[in-house]
Structure 1
């Protein structure tokens, strides 16, 4: 795949079905039970940080996991928020969900439920350190390995109501598998260096939680004053059936291989061009299997 074909919005759209399969249903049920218990006493307000193009909101409504809700989507990218707005309108029309826009908010009505959606273009740490609002649930999806989670959690938990809750999904936990093997030693070396470089990287001059954020969240959450109510695996597992991948998951796989290539560029003293090319060929031929180990968490503060 040529570098210019790796459009991050396309990547986010192509991974939705991968995430759909991966999300831990036991953790989701625990969250859902909590939300319906909360709405017995008051209206519900959820905030999702790094909300991207809105796939989590679509999923939660599609799967009938939310009661009537005010839902705030926060993302640092204006481009992602713009695409989220487009997708929500397209999704509402396709699902015959009543849609209106009022004062820059989207209002969706599905049967007896009402969803008010507002949008904020902001950095997560800045948003949570400055907001005066209190939320019943905060969601972070496939995000906490990209920030300094220990630094962020106190701000995040501070924005929750008394007994507010958190749902942290798709938290990478240090295992990447590509099958079939090309060379056992080379495969192992590339994955090791891929993880090492990710752990050493900084984003905007700040350290990130990196490849073991999944297991480390047990202590991070406890130290920040949270209580984990449920946790479980949410592995990405992408495989071909009849030499074909579901939906656009072949594009997702090409993006993953390109990410390995770009991450290791100028960071290693050996050549991986033939390995990268072979993995792209395996995708084209419907042969590559990709597994990444991740963890989901739900709890309260």
Structure 2
């Protein structure tokens, strides 16, 4: 397992605690509405699905419809390989009997007699795991009921992403975008360098890094869904902030939060290292970073990051 996959595993429980309950329930209600009027499996496509954390979460919370085809697409082959390894265990822990397939797996819940049975007695979940650029795979991603992008819409070109989403979703289809970063990264205890660091870190997201996306993606996503350019309506919006305080957690939770904090500190340091010394003093950056690592080890550091959870729906055409 690479360092990045270890981070994604640690992030599962952090995201579980951060998800906005009201927006999540609106999403669950939307799934139920789709199932009521649907024949055949509900088709879900998750872009940037990583190691499969979201499909595992939905299975664990028993909120999936009874018949689901769920495609996980990610650019990172190592993450998809990790999903192949870990998802069977996570789904088994959630009460499914799992069989691997060439494209992923098929998981079935227990039937009414308590024995794993066919889909008529329980629920069937087919998971397809795919490496690639979701926005370039329209041919087999048509007539989709739901698109999910968890912590993804701050890493993509929003206009391109929504154009693709609107092209593959059915009328009344849902787009669920939890944990979309939205413009605040904070640390306590305070440091005189914090304000400048946050400005430069967010500017790096907006103007310097090679990848698309930006530091205010959450509010921009809400605005884009509200606008006339794309055929969506906003169903629910709510905050889903990370509040990382490993010194206040149980041992298992603390280990995960420390892993997430270390990854975030490395990400910030890598971003700030792209600035020339006459804009951002490398010594000041290293001093700040060393202080934060010391506080983390001493059980003194709290880290906050602001996200929005957004649920949208394709407006039916007249």
TM-score, normalised with respect to structure 1: 0.91
* CA pair 74-266 structure 1, distance change in 2 beyond 3 A: closer
Matched, 1:211 2:215: yes
Q: Residue by residue, what CA displacement relative to the aligned partner does 1:171-198 show, whole Å, maximum 9, x if unpaired?
A: 1110111011132xx1111111111111
Question: What's the counterpart of residue 154 of structure 1?
Answer: 163
Regions of 4+ moved over 6 Å: none
Matched, 1:233 2:217: no
The one of 6, 31, 36 equivalent to 1:40 is 36
Question: What's the counterpart of residue 285 of structure 1?
Answer: 298
* CA pair 132-92 structure 1, distance change in 2 beyond 3 A: closer
SS of match in other structure, 2:45: strand
Q: Residue by residue, what CA displacement relative to the aligned partner does 1:83-104 show, whole Å, maximum 9, x if unpaired?
A: 0111112223444520112343
Matched, 1:265 2:265: no
**In 2, Cα distance between equivalents of 1:221 and 1:274:** 42
Query: Which blocks of at least 5 consecutive residues in structure 2 are unaligned?
Result: 111-121
Question: What's the counterpart of residue 73 of structure 1?
Answer: 72
**In 2, Cα distance between equivalents of 1:10 and 1:102:** 25
Contact 2:56–2:91 at 8 Å: present in 1 too? no
**In 2, Cα distance between equivalents of 1:176 and 1:62:** 30
Q: Residue by residue, what CA displacement relative to the aligned partner does 1:13-34 show, whole Å, maximum 9, x if unpaired?
A: 1111110011111111111111
SS of match in other structure, 1:144: coil
* CA pair 232-117 structure 1, distance change in 2 beyond 3 A: same
Structure 1 residue 41: deviation in Å? Answer: 2.4
**In 1, Cα distance between equivalents of 2:264 and 2:104:** 34
Contact 1:17–1:247 at 8 Å: present in 2 too? no
Q: Residue by residue, what CA displacement relative to the aligned partner does 1:124-173 show, whole Å, maximum 9, x if unpaired?
A: 22124x44521100000101111111122111111011211110111111
Deviates more, 1:242-251 or 1:282-291: 242-251
SS of match in other structure, 2:51: coil
The one of 167, 188, 200 equivalent to 1:193 is 200
* CA pair 274-16 structure 1, distance change in 2 beyond 3 A: same
Structure 1 residue 242: deviation in Å? Answer: 4.8
Deviates more, 1:100-109 or 1:257-266: 100-109
Query: Aligned-residue CA RMSD in angstroms?
Result: 1.9
Question: What's the counterpart of residue 57 of structure 1?
Answer: 55
How many residues get paired? 291
Matched, 1:221 2:229: no
TM-score, normalised with respect to structure 2: 0.86
Query: Which blocks of at least 5 consecutive residues in structure 1 are unaligned?
Result: none
The one of 274, 281, 289 equivalent to 1:276 is 289
* CA pair 192-93 structure 1, distance change in 2 beyond 3 A: same
* CA pair 233-101 structure 1, distance change in 2 beyond 3 A: same
SS of match in other structure, 1:33: helix
**In 2, Cα distance between equivalents of 1:110 and 1:66:** 11
